[in-house]
Amino acid sequence: TTGRGAGPKAAAVAAQPADMIETLEDIQIRCLANDLSYRMSFGREDRSEANTGISSMSKSFRSKKGGKKTPISPGLARRLRDFQFAQEKRRNKYGNERPWGILGLYDHLAAIRIDMEWAEDAAWRRNHNEPYLSWADFDDKKRIGFNQPFFIYFLLVTCTAMLVASIGFNGWELEPLSVNPMMGPSAETLIKMGAKEAILIVRENQVWRLITPMVLHAGIIHFAFNMLALWFVGSAVEQNHGSLAAAIIYVIPAIGGNILSAIFLPEYISVGASGGIFGLIGACIADIVLNWSL
């Protein structure tokens, strides 16, 4: 099968230097021959799938001027073909549904990243004569414990602990709704816990009050809405960008919001994770704009 698929042209191409720029048709013939031999040697994939997407990839790399051939490096051509193969396998396994909502968007982006990583991993294994790893095994390996949002977990636990502590400092009592409509402690208790108070920040140099409000909440209602938003938005951002990026996206806007609040609303005390959550929402909007065509 390999000999018939390759033919004299593939043998001639194989004799060229590895770093030489070739036309796409030459690369396709050589890559197809090598890929069939490679997959047959391990017996992990259906040989008919080795030819998936080659004709469509050929069309995509032709210019608009008379179907002229476009030169492309062999390594890039092979990675593109492997990526297209992975995308087809994913559609066969999970279906071809479009992403819905924030979580759907990030799941879609994560799937694209996994398929790109598989193409890179396959290239590395070929170059180092390592055993072939099928796309299905690679995808399962990546999906197990995939990018757990540990920073968001930390925030949820910390905010919950601080809410319980603030109620405890308030004598385990909630203020009347006429005093605190959020069903929480008194303003005095929140100040003791580290709420933003402009006078104390300026006169007493309590700069730490620009940080502590991001884990405090005015009450149970305030806490519930913020944690719900933090879970759905924050976990999606962290799973796609990583814990460090999520922490930066959350902390900097949260501190910036407290600074602006101290400048423009010095007469009010403030607490809450809203500044950080708006930072995470901004990251979501940026991802949607940057990946609109996907």
Residues 6+ apart with CB under 8 A from 118: 82, 83, 86, 135, 138, 139
pLDDT digits (tens, 9 = 90+) for 143-161: 765 568 999 999 999 999 9
Q: How many domains is the chain partitioned into structurally?
A: 2
- What is the pTM for the complete model shown? 0.65
- Report residue 264 as tokens: 């423009």
> Which is nearest to 272 in space by CA: 214, 221, 228, 195?
214
Same domain assignment for residues 157 and 54 = no
Between residues 271 and 89, the one the model is more confident about: 271
Same domain assignment for residues 186 and 107 = no
Residue where a domain terminates, one of 90, 118, 143 = 143
pLDDT digits (tens, 9 = 90+) for 159-191: 999 999 999 999 999 999 999 999 999 999 999
Range of the domain at 160: 150-290
Binning pLDDT at 50, 70 and 90, where does residue 35 land? very low
- SS3 at position 45: coil
Same domain assignment for residues 138 and 160 = no
Instruction: Kindly report each contact of residues 156-159 with a partner whose C-beta sits within 8 Å and lies 24 or more positions away, as own/partner.
Output: 156/227, 156/230, 156/231, 158/215, 159/215, 159/216, 159/217, 159/223, 159/226, 159/227, 159/230, 159/273
Same domain assignment for residues 34 and 109 = yes
Same domain assignment for residues 131 and 239 = no
Same domain assignment for residues 154 and 283 = yes
Residue where a domain terminates, one of 124, 143, 162 = 143
Give the count of alpha carbons within 13 A of 194, CB side only: 18
> Which is nearest to 148 in space by CA: 239, 237, 227?
239
pLDDT digits (tens, 9 = 90+) for 86-136: 989 888 888 876 666 677 777 777 788 888 889 999 999 988 999 988 998
* pLDDT at 57 > cutoff 90: no
Same domain assignment for residues 162 and 286 = yes
